[in-house]
A and B are shown apart, each in its own frame.
Chain A
Amino acid sequence: MLLQQVINGIILGFIYSLLAMGMTMVFGITQVIHFSHGEVFMIGSFIGVGVAVLLTETGHFGGNILWVLVATVALAMAGAALLGILVDRTCYRPIRRSPRINSLVSAIGSSIFIQQAVILTLGSKFRIFPFLFPKGEIHFLGSMVSYAQIWIVIISLFLMVVFSIFLKNSRMGKALQTVAENQKVAGLLGINVNKFIALTFLIVSAIAGAAGVLTGSYYGSVDFFVGFMAGLKAFTSMILGGVGNVTGAVLGGLVIGVAETLIGGYISNDNKDILVFLLLIIILVFRPSGLLGERVAERL
């Protein structure tokens, strides 16, 4: 059973990692906790549901599931990216220079707003998400991994690797890192800080959108509340790994996913959240900068 639980946890962890990556990137650059990242993820899955249902019902792509998956992910990424930029433009940018507590409050407000807007327009009922992965599973050593799970890992890794290469090797990526280090200096160097922040939101929101499609299809249903829960787990992962640290976020996500699953499976599912929170606190007490350390310019 242990192996199976670890597998369960890793899959969960990858989804948290995708979200935590984005959140930590945003924090690194703007020093604001992007509370509505979970909601962007949620919108990604809603867009995904709409597209996937449309495509499967009208029989586009001749029923070739993987193409439907690709199209759904692409459109969800686009929609989510747009939303992310919009949130930045309306809720964060106007108060970039204000005390951080203001941005935090505005972030919370944006999260509530998006969630409520979905309830009011799309209703509080679950939407059924078509299954877009190949069916079947592999059995080994008494455990099993489904093809869906394997695909989720592949796609997640793909997104992470692309993102990482972009950050380290491209001109834009390097400019992003400069902005993260020191906004003022970056501005002096001729970098349009606001544009780059918007770019960050675009990228992380697109990733969140993709995660939304993967999650929606994997669990088979989508509702307005997933953003809140996923967002919480993402924050926790981000903090665990060290804010601003993208590798840390990935690690944090995996740790939280596996820890949560193991605690739920071995100790108590009832009290799982309490124990995970305690775990976070304990780790922070011993390593206040998170597991892999922070990467944020200290704003004194």
Chain B
Amino acid sequence: MRMNRSYLPKNPLRRANPWLLAVIILSLIFPWLSPEYYVDLAFNVLIYIILAESLNVIIGFAGLLNLGHAAFFGVGAYTYGILWRFFQLPFIFALPLSAVFAAIMGLLLGLPVLRVRHDYIAIVTLGFGEVIKLILNNWTDLTDGPNGIYGMAPPQIWGFAIRSRTQYYYLTLLLVYLILFLMVRLAHSRLGRAWIAIREDEVSAATLGVRVDRLKLLAFTVGASLAGVAGCLMASKHRFISPAGFGFYESIIILCMVIVGGIGNIPGVVLGASILYIVPEILREFSDFRMITVGVAMITLMIFRPEGILGREKRKMIWERAAKVERGKPFS
């Protein structure tokens, strides 16, 4: 009997998709066609795409609401910053170390999260995020506190220094594609399905042999390390980091990107991150209204379109099926 996999996200890599190809080509030639300001903007968008997708792993795959995600972003950035401050460690070594330290933080957060009731996860992660920011701010010997760290050297990869905006863009673009590829493969692997099982119904998943605790920790670890990568990249380009950029406000923005894109929806989150970064940039005169729009968006999306901007026909099917079962109709 063929397994009915219609409820899983379609794997875009399975078929040659002309639209996908067009987007890829466009992203490759983009810097040659645009002035510098836009390349900078695109770099930031790419960073946020990585960030949003990394949160997507935690919320979308494993179903755990993380309100302190900016902390991992900060840990990654500060790993590079601190290593630079004391050891002048080059970027090429700092990048994997950022991923590792962020992953360790993810693990540290995951452990108490396991112990607490499902509903507390939001608060615990929120608290964790604030605590990390506080530690970065107060541990002056390590981080120089609120003054921040600046002047990190640009990355040198095999002697080739990355200095221009375009080079940064391509480096980040490469990483984005790698990460997206990784995520799509993850989603369609046994691991991914196990995560989705945990998200949909934890108790049933456990009875079916899914090692719930371990996989939750893994989700945190993976999500955190990706965010750490984003942090390291951003630190190397902006060359200035301070604790102020890694607080609750940022965590909420990243969360909103995932919500807008659709929890668990990989291409959706790419779009969500892009929209939520670019639109406020374009509408700079209305910057007063930025946060209130975020608030309204969160409410209305949850009420009217919880699957996110791109929608998800398949997800509706699950609820409809469940509703039918409740009403006693045959499972069809």
**Interface of A with B (CB < 8 Å)?**
27, 31, 33, 90-91, 94-95, 98, 100-106, 108-117, 120, 232, 235-236, 239, 243, 270-271, 273-274, 277-278, 280-281, 284-285, 288-289, 294, 300
| B302 in complex: contacting residue of A95, A232, A235, A271, CB < 8 Å | A95
Residues A300 and B131 in contact in the complex (CB < 8 Å), given A33-B119, A91-B299? no
B297 touches A109 (CB 8 A): yes
Residues A112 and B295 in contact in the complex (CB < 8 Å), given A101-B263, A106-B303, A120-B289? yes
| B122 in complex: contacting residue of A33, A116, A270, CB < 8 Å | A33
B298 touches A284 (CB 8 A): no
Measured in the bound complex, the distance between the Cα atoms of B55 and A105 in whole Å is 14
Told that A105-B259, A113-B296 touch, could you supply 7 new A-B pairs with CB distance under 8 A?
Answer: A33-B119, A106-B299, A106-B302, A108-B67, A112-B298, A277-B131, A284-B116
A116 touches B117 (CB 8 A): no
A235 touches B123 (CB 8 A): yes
**B252 touches A (CB below 8 Å):** yes
List, in ascending order, chain A residues with CB within 8 A of B203's CB. Answer: 300
Interface size on B, residues (CB 8 A): 41
**B213 touches A (CB below 8 Å):** no
| A108 in complex: contacting residue of B134, B252, B296, B303, CB < 8 Å | B252
| B298 in complex: contacting residue of A100, A106, A117, A277, CB < 8 Å | A106
Measured in the bound complex, the distance between the Cα atoms of B296 and A294 in whole Å is 32
| A112 in complex: contacting residue of B63, B124, B131, B294, CB < 8 Å | B294
List, in ascending order, chain B residues with CB within 8 A of A31's CB. Answer: 119
B119 touches A109 (CB 8 A): no
Measured in the bound complex, the distance between the Cα atoms of B244 and A206 in whole Å is 35
B303 touches A120 (CB 8 A): no
8 interchain pairs (CB within 8 A)? Answer: A27-B119, A33-B119, A95-B303, A102-B302, A105-B65, A239-B116, A284-B115, A285-B112
List, in ascending order, chain A residues with CB within 8 A of B282's CB. Answer: none
**B135 touches A (CB below 8 Å):** yes
Residues A274 and B263 in contact in the complex (CB < 8 Å), given A105-B302, A112-B292? no
Closest to A271 in B: B138
Residues A98 and B306 in contact in the complex (CB < 8 Å), given A109-B297, A239-B123? yes
**How far apart are A300's CB and chain B's nearest CB, in angstroms?**
6
B298 touches A108 (CB 8 A): yes
Measured in the bound complex, the distance between the Cα atoms of B255 and A106 in whole Å is 12
B 102-127 binary contact with A (CB < 8 Å = 1; else 0) = 00000000001001111110111011
Measured in the bound complex, the distance between the Cα atoms of B65 and A100 in whole Å is 10
| B119 in complex: contacting residue of A105, A243, A281, A288, CB < 8 Å | A243
| B299 in complex: contacting residue of A113, A115, A270, A278, CB < 8 Å | A113
Residues A120 and B123 in contact in the complex (CB < 8 Å), given A106-B299, A108-B252, A288-B116? no
**How far apart are B47's CB and chain A's nearest CB, in angstroms?**
23
Closest to B116 in A: A284
Closest to A114 in B: B295
B295 touches A281 (CB 8 A): no
**B130 touches A (CB below 8 Å):** yes
List, in ascending order, chain A residues with CB within 8 A of B138's CB. Answer: 270-271, 274
**How far apart are A137's CB and chain B's nearest CB, in angstroms?**
33
List, in ascending order, chain A residues with CB within 8 A of B20's CB. Answer: none
B302 touches A109 (CB 8 A): yes
**B288 touches A (CB below 8 Å):** yes
List, in ascending order, chain B residues with CB within 8 A of A294's CB. Answer: 117
**Interface of B with A (CB < 8 Å)?**
59, 63, 65, 67, 112, 115-120, 122-124, 126-128, 130-131, 134-135, 138, 203, 252, 255, 259, 263, 288-289, 291-292, 294-299, 301-303, 306
B117 touches A281 (CB 8 A): no
Residues A117 and B116 in contact in the complex (CB < 8 Å), given A105-B298, A236-B127? no
B292 touches A120 (CB 8 A): yes
Closest to A94 in B: B303
**How far apart are A190's CB and chain B's nearest CB, in angstroms?**
22
List, in ascending order, chain B residues with CB within 8 A of A105's CB. Answer: 65, 255, 259, 298, 301-302
Measured in the bound complex, the distance between the Cα atoms of B122 and A235 in whole Å is 10
Closest to A282 in B: B112
B299 touches A109 (CB 8 A): yes
A273 touches B134 (CB 8 A): yes
A98 touches B302 (CB 8 A): yes
List, in ascending order, chain B residues with CB within 8 A of A232's CB. Answer: 126-127
List, in ascending order, chain A residues with CB within 8 A of B301's CB. Answer: 105
B299 touches A271 (CB 8 A): no
| A110 in complex: contacting residue of B128, B259, B299, CB < 8 Å | B299
Measured in the bound complex, the distance between the Cα atoms of B118 and A288 in whole Å is 11
Residues A33 and B123 in contact in the complex (CB < 8 Å), given A109-B298, A281-B112? yes
B117 touches A273 (CB 8 A): no
A274 touches B292 (CB 8 A): no
**How far apart are B30's CB and chain A's nearest CB, in angstroms?**
32
Closest to B67 in A: A108
Q: Which 7 A-B pairs have the closest CB atoms?
A: A109-B298, A113-B295, A112-B295, A116-B292, A109-B299, A106-B302, A102-B302
Closest to A286 in B: B115
List, in ascending order, chain B residues with CB within 8 A of A273's CB. Answer: 130-131, 134
Measured in the bound complex, the distance between the Cα atoms of B128 and A113 in whole Å is 23
